[in-house]
Chain A
């Protein structure tokens, strides 16, 4: 298909970097941003929830207002009321609104990237890519929804007319994570809106500021006030929203534990509820990179390091295990270890940083605990630079000699930690991947096309990357989504994703009258 991704900023040009630094200064002067509860065009701004700069926790980035249980109910009711009119517009009209929103985001790119740098400590390149991906989701789903509106071809026989159409499901609850504060929140929201649903968005408590910018742009572009509500808050707000009888679809990206809880809650039919809830859940992973004996270490070592440590490993696609053929395990480990010492661990605002601070204190503690536990049972932990004193930094780490049953090999850590295990061959590596409960991303480094082909069929993951890093899926190029406990299979940014936001209706009409076909 013809689709052009939003171009990334060319950070290798000094004047591009200067522009971003200007945008950051301008943003800083505005902080904290106020993020109200926003329902049907009405706002309530009574800050009681702050997002802070992970690199300078004293700095409040957004002063948000927690939604109350009553507001959750109000938001769903308002969305229900507004949905029919939004759905009644043709897909092309809704698409035009989304494309207009994409234009607004494009105009505000530098400011938005700066906001992700501040609120989530995304390094500039990653922050910019996040904004670009958000724009991509808008334009991609807008176009795909227009195509979907045409329905599907059915078999036609004389005397009847058969039609398959899609219609929106109703109210979509979007429960979004902080690690891609623009792209993921907007991806789920845009898919729902493009197909004619109304949306109630519950952003992560760590990134309400980014979410509010998205919601503002969508409203400015013409999304009706009632068709999109913003409910800042913590887990209780999300829980109330998910449980609400008026919600038809729950689009969730986040941890496996929360995703499974949502699936359980969504299965309950509440009083007054006359539909089954559909859940689109994108959850965690324990992603492995397999390095064959013939791999080019010049490529494999930096790609593994980037996949494991980029954005401090806080991507669901990040690499957390390397399974390396024993024939090259020693040089691989030595070079990766050496690279660990070169990683720039510093504030996200610094250009060229590799490992920014983690999102919050509890993440820092989680990583420290996991590493201490592993070390206590005999694992060897090598650490890179510790980073500045201020901010939730965790030194990037490589862990070796890990016992086969250690939790470190099977639970998602979401931090800059990677384990390295030698394997006798890639068949053995495959068996270890198969034993995992997850199936999100996976990587293969091999120069043998026969082996690559075989492994790409057998690896039980949703996205397989060959001879490259395993993060950074791009809309329309690498539609993204996992298998097993990582997700239900839909591919965000790819064909078929919108099907989760619609239901199909088949109309079959008798076209005969008095025995004649009319």
Chain B
């Protein structure tokens, strides 16, 4: 079977690329605003992990497997046994390094080394995860707000395989919305974060995952999961509207994309949700067909009357390995760009197209790559709009230094803050660690002392 032979319409266009020198100048200025003395955006806690690992695959694998299994171990002894087993698999030249990861007491037997490892993993988790539950995370969100940084709360959870789990996740989301809406009333005014071209920006902002809202994800039958997820998403949209909160639907692997897009655009077009809530969707630049999805979203926005425009969060995409492995195993053309440079170029092209599509959409640029960020800001400024018409997003932990720098430039920035316990947070944590120790990560490269001008070059 072959793909449609009908030529695709042209990709949504934006303004031409802005001058390189402007992007680099802004990039350097942002870099100079990083808070740490060395202007290295990687926190010491995980620099120790990230820096030596990118070119040491066995050690990296051992560490990830340890982090992955840690919450499933009921006793320090159990974790210590795993640690031993992972170290035993290392090639001889890495064994000493493995022991030196500060994850083990070495001589104290399984219980002691296991306890040390558990402490280390919990410390790492705290770096990326804002708290065990929304209540625990609220003080951190309030501190962010006071410091000029908005937030989006994300509830981590185990995979949803049963209806009861989907119900529990929906209930947690509902509860989080209520708690958030209550808490934000006490927050001080931050005009920079509260208004853009389309009007008021909600302080309370929750990101939700559709694969957690239904156990019925069937990639060959998106309608099955869509109907089931809609039953749980609809009450959340109502709650968000009632509370004046923003609800953002995250994107995951491509297997659920058709479902998610159909679900979100379908529900938001219903009369009931014409006047709210504020809502958003995600566009993943690493997908080779992301232009098509953008066109679909823009066509939807053009024909759908809503009180506030849909927010489109542009990300690079966090499931690259997964998409590649799956495509290789099944003999498919990978749905993702082959190289990071291709993704980065796609990201800039989509940035320009999105910015040009305003006021039909709100735009949030989510990246830790200073080049990608600077490019977006310069494009926005050259379109004649104030900085507040563009939202920048970072991840808690990894993006902490970056959000300080952006806030210092009086840019509108939002930190994506996951909450959850260690067990449910593990998949997220491992993904972040993998990302951060990848060879092509901007932050890892910067931490390794890569030349800033080189990093700011056009992809």
Which residues of A are at the interface with B, using a C-beta cutoff of 8 A? 4-12, 14-17, 19, 109-110, 124-125, 293-298, 301-302, 305, 327, 335, 337-339, 341-342, 344, 350-353, 447-451
Contact of A352 among B88, B158, B224 (CB under 8 A): B224
Contact in complex: A294, B220 (CB < 8 Å)? no
How many Å lie between the Cα of A296 and that of B4 in the bound state? 41
Contact in complex: A16, B1 (CB < 8 Å)? yes
Contact in complex: A124, B220 (CB < 8 Å)? yes
The residue on A at minimum CB distance from B81 is A448
- Chain B residues with Cβ under 8 A from A350's Cβ? 221
Q: Is B435 an interface residue (CB 8 A)?
A: no
- Chain B residues with Cβ under 8 A from A16's Cβ? 1
At the interface with chain A, which of B39-47, B66-74, B238-246, B436-444? B66-74
The residue on B at minimum CB distance from A14 is B258
Question: When A and B form their complex, which 7 residue pairs have the shortest distance between CB atoms, in order from nearest?
Answer: A352-B221, A338-B162, A7-B331, A352-B218, A11-B220, A298-B159, A450-B85
Contact of A449 among B73, B86, B224, B255 (CB under 8 A): B86
- Chain B residues with Cβ under 8 A from A4's Cβ? 331
Q: Is B375 an interface residue (CB 8 A)?
A: no
Contact in complex: A125, B220 (CB < 8 Å)? yes
How many Å lie between the Cα of A109 and that of B331 in the bound state? 15
Known: A7-B331, A447-B69. A110 touches B218 (CB 8 A): no
Contact in complex: B332, A297 (CB < 8 Å)? no
In the complex, how many angstroms separate the beta carbon of B44 from the nearest chain A beta carbon? 29
The residue on B at minimum CB distance from A327 is B74
How many Å lie between the Cα of A352 and that of B165 in the bound state? 21
- Chain A residues with Cβ under 8 A from B158's Cβ? 297-298
**Contact sample, A vs B, 5 pairs, CB 8 Å cutoff:** A5-B331, A15-B3, A298-B427, A327-B74, A450-B81
- Chain B residues with Cβ under 8 A from A10's Cβ? 330, 332
- Chain B residues with Cβ under 8 A from A109's Cβ? 1
Contact in complex: A296, B72 (CB < 8 Å)? yes
Q: Is B215 an interface residue (CB 8 A)?
A: yes
How many Å lie between the Cα of A339 and that of B3 in the bound state? 35
Q: Which of A297, A301, A338 has the most CB of B within 10 A?
A: A338
In the complex, how many angstroms separate the beta carbon of A125 from the nearest chain B beta carbon? 6
In the complex, how many angstroms separate the beta carbon of B362 from the nearest chain A beta carbon? 28
Contact in complex: B1, A9 (CB < 8 Å)? yes
Contact of A341 among B85, B159, B163, B255 (CB under 8 A): B163
Q: Is B20 an interface residue (CB 8 A)?
A: no
Interface mask (B58-81 → A, CB under 8 Å = 1, otherwise 0)? 000000010011001110001001
Q: Is B22 an interface residue (CB 8 A)?
A: no
- Chain A residues with Cβ under 8 A from B275's Cβ? none
In the complex, how many angstroms separate the beta carbon of A398 from the nearest chain B beta carbon? 13
Contact of B4 among A15, A124, A305 (CB under 8 A): A15
Give the size category of B's interface with A: 35 or more
In the complex, how many angstroms separate the beta carbon of B369 from the nearest chain A beta carbon? 29
- Chain B residues with Cβ under 8 A from A124's Cβ? 220
Q: Is B89 an interface residue (CB 8 A)?
A: yes
The residue on A at minimum CB distance from B164 is A338
Contact in complex: A351, B4 (CB < 8 Å)? no
Interface of B is mostly: helix
Contact of B163 among A14, A19, A297, A338 (CB under 8 A): A338
- Chain A residues with Cβ under 8 A from B219's Cβ? 11-12, 352
Contact of A110 among B1, B4, B221 (CB under 8 A): B1
How many Å lie between the Cα of A447 and that of B254 in the bound state? 27
- Chain B residues with Cβ under 8 A from A302's Cβ? 159, 161
In the complex, how many angstroms separate the beta carbon of A388 from the nearest chain B beta carbon? 16
The residue on B at minimum CB distance from A19 is B1
How many Å lie between the Cα of A302 and that of B158 in the bound state? 13
Q: Is B82 an interface residue (CB 8 A)?
A: yes
Which residues of B are at the interface with A, using a C-beta cutoff of 8 A? 1, 3-4, 65, 68-69, 72-74, 78, 81-82, 84-86, 88-89, 158-159, 161-165, 215-216, 218-221, 224, 254-255, 258, 330-332, 427
- Chain B residues with Cβ under 8 A from A298's Cβ? 158-159, 161, 427
The residue on B at minimum CB distance from A477 is B329
The residue on A at minimum CB distance from B3 is A15
How many Å lie between the Cα of A19 and that of B3 in the bound state? 10
In addition to A109-B1, A344-B224, 18 A-B residue pairs with Cβ atoms within 8 Å of each other are A6-B331, A7-B332, A8-B331, A9-B1, A14-B258, A17-B220, A296-B68, A302-B161, A335-B162, A335-B165, A338-B161, A341-B162, A342-B161, A342-B162, A344-B221, A353-B221, A447-B72, A448-B81
How many Å lie between the Cα of A448 and that of B87 in the bound state? 11
- Chain A residues with Cβ under 8 A from B331's Cβ? 4-8
Contact in complex: B332, A8 (CB < 8 Å)? yes
The residue on A at minimum CB distance from B331 is A7
In the complex, how many angstroms separate the beta carbon of A465 from the nearest chain B beta carbon? 14
Contact in complex: B216, A344 (CB < 8 Å)? yes
- Chain A residues with Cβ under 8 A from B1's Cβ? 9, 16, 19, 109-110
In the complex, how many angstroms separate the beta carbon of A467 from the nearest chain B beta carbon? 11
How many Å lie between the Cα of A298 and that of B159 in the bound state? 5
In the complex, how many angstroms separate the beta carbon of B188 from the nearest chain A beta carbon? 40
In the complex, how many angstroms separate the beta carbon of A121 from the nearest chain B beta carbon? 16
Contact in complex: A335, B161 (CB < 8 Å)? yes
Contact in complex: B73, A294 (CB < 8 Å)? yes
Contact in complex: A447, B162 (CB < 8 Å)? no
How many Å lie between the Cα of A447 and that of B66 in the bound state? 9
- Chain B residues with Cβ under 8 A from A327's Cβ? 74
- Chain A residues with Cβ under 8 A from B165's Cβ? 335, 338
- Chain A residues with Cβ under 8 A from B254's Cβ? 12
The residue on B at minimum CB distance from A341 is B163
How many Å lie between the Cα of A5 and that of B331 in the bound state? 7
In the complex, how many angstroms separate the beta carbon of A314 from the nearest chain B beta carbon? 19
Contact in complex: B82, A7 (CB < 8 Å)? no
Contact in complex: B220, A351 (CB < 8 Å)? yes
In the complex, how many angstroms separate the beta carbon of B337 from the nearest chain A beta carbon? 18
How many Å lie between the Cα of A60 and that of B72 in the bound state? 52
Contact of B82 among A9, A15, A448 (CB under 8 A): A448
Known: A344-B218, A450-B85. A295 touches B72 (CB 8 A): yes
- Chain A residues with Cβ under 8 A from B89's Cβ? 449
In the complex, how many angstroms separate the beta carbon of A385 from the nearest chain B beta carbon? 12
Q: Which of B3, B85, B254, B427 has the most CB of A within 10 A?
A: B85
In the complex, how many angstroms separate the beta carbon of A113 from the nearest chain B beta carbon? 11
Known: A9-B1, A447-B72. A301 touches B218 (CB 8 A): no
